[in-house]
Amino acid sequence: MLWSTALVAAQSGTTFSRSPTISTIAVHPTPTGSGGVIPEGFVSFSIELSSFPDFAGNSSVGPNLFSYNLLNNIGNLTGTKPYIRVGGNTQDLALYDASLGVAENGIVDPERSEDYPTTLTIGPSFFESYDSWPGVKFIHGFNLGKNGTDGRESLLATVPLACKALSDGKLLYWELGNEPDLFKTSAKQGIVRPTNWTEHDYVQEYLNGTRAIRAELAKACPDLATDDKYKFIAPSFAGTSNSLDPIKTWQEGFDEDKNIALISSHNYIDGATEPGVTLQGTLMSHTSTVNSISKQLNVSRLLSNYSLPFILGETNSLYNQGASGLSDSFGAALWGIDFNLWCASVGIKRVHMHQGTNYRYASWQPVDTDKATKGTKAPYYGNIGVAAALGDLTAAPVRVDNLPLPEAREAAYATYGNDALQRVTVVNLREYNATQDGGASERPETEYWFGVPTACNGTGVVQRVMASGSDALTGASFNGLTYGFERDQGRPVLLGNATKDEIVWVGQDGVFGVSVPWSSAAIVQLKC
């Protein structure tokens, strides 16, 4: 499955009849793309506020070590544990009750959402969850949606609890409001603003809110109210074309107080219940990813004069918490690798993949419920694949270039550290359905040939992201490792029937080939 030009020449009679071949792709010795240096914490998560106690645990039930192990796995590859944004739709539904004896009390209204409570009260112990994961930094989301007396009092009452829970280096940033561009249009989230609510109205409300939060911080946690530490991600809009224009929002003086650290936008490729959504056509399509992110890049360019990093503060495959058989499949894991590396290659500085208890697109299910069993899900292997493709972001400046390939069902990337080539990643997005195709024929493969600097000649290592097919919901692996809860609570365990660290030979001319089965990915670690 692995060749160099030298070996092929020595085996002149060798043919690879069942594998289409991609002509040699030239990989530049230094990065040529415009993505820039990738900051640490690029591989990060967003966790639904109502689900946070499930994911993290607290002092009453103990920390969720399974979740923590999964975060550590990524941190071991990238040099930093993922940053966690605690927010989402329930961020703007949560009211505080100082007398509540449990972390939260939620009521699910199936007509609005079966996936999260649309009536939510949180108590003091909610904030204990911030103590469960040592070494993890957090973004805490405050409620902007509830702007009546109860909402305002609740917001200010939670500031001392949040700041004390996030002291001692746990605070990354704050956030005020989740997807306010849907406040006057989304029946699902609830209409919470009048139809004549404008960008100017939003900005004034936002500034009043952030100033009030800072005043409370100055009393409860003065060290977090200083100019250098009092920072937000914003505006956290749902997209680029909803009822509030992000460009007009900034033109209205959105960052008047100079306390926005990152421009945050949300992105989903499509909707879970939208017609025509398929695994191959929607998720396992590089073109789909490029088109989706191009809208974000248009906004980023128009806001470039503010000189702030642009991130995806919440994203995943299909909005409305994903679709069974699509968002929870191995195909979605491969989409995640392509999506994240594409973002890295075009200058998006961080990607927070959204999670929630029982969510179809979640990377793991943190607890047992009547809907889902605790365990690692297929998309997590996409998170691991991205982390392995980027490598240690703290060791050297890392950049990523996209390597254009002939069609939409494939993607490739080159990763550079200190401007030297370190690895090449190939994602074969051609759909192979294990249920339908598994017993019918041998799994097809595609040969990819790359020309790299001659200094890379010798041996490299291939780490594969594999499963039985794109439709697989279980049984995924990375480099022969599984991260299942049932094995060792999410820690890596080597599978007995899998290959770890395959050897690839790079010829003296710098050319090597790697065969990638359909619906899989390969990360080639080079020694250049």
Active site members: 199, 314
d(CA 16, CA 447): 9
Question: With helix as H, strand as E and coil as C, how does 414-479 read?
Answer: EEEECCEEEEEEEEECCCCCHHHHCCCCCCCEEEEEEECCHHHCEEEEEEEEECCCCCCCCCCEEC
**CB 51 within 8 Å of CB 372:** no
For residue 478, give the amino acid letter.
Answer: F
Strand, coil or helix: 186: coil
d(CA 311, CA 346): 11
* Nearest Cα residue to 347 out of 28, 30, 33: 33
* Nearest Cα residue to 518 out of 429, 417, 397, 454: 429
Virtual torsion, Cα 10, 16, 20, 21, nearest 10 deg: 0
CA distances from 340 to 311, 374, 379 (A): 11, 25, 12
Q: Which pairs with CB-CB distance under 8 Å and at least 24 residues apart come from 156-161?
A: 156/212, 156/213, 156/216, 157/96, 157/98, 158/96, 158/122, 158/127, 159/213, 159/216, 159/217, 159/220, 160/216, 160/219, 160/220, 160/221, 161/96, 161/124, 161/127
Chain-centroid distance, C-alpha 489: 21
d(CA 473, CA 329): 5
* Phi then psi dihedrals of residue 10, to 5 deg: -70, -25
**CB 88 within 8 Å of CB 319:** no
Retrieve residue 523's tokens: 């990360």
**CB 423 within 8 Å of CB 487:** no
Retrieve residue 484's tokens: 């299942």
**CB 441 within 8 Å of CB 427:** no
Strand, coil or helix: 110: coil
Longest Cα pair distance anywhere in the chain, in angstroms?
80
**Element (DSSP H or E) covering residue 216:** helix 199-220
**CB 232 within 8 Å of CB 175:** yes
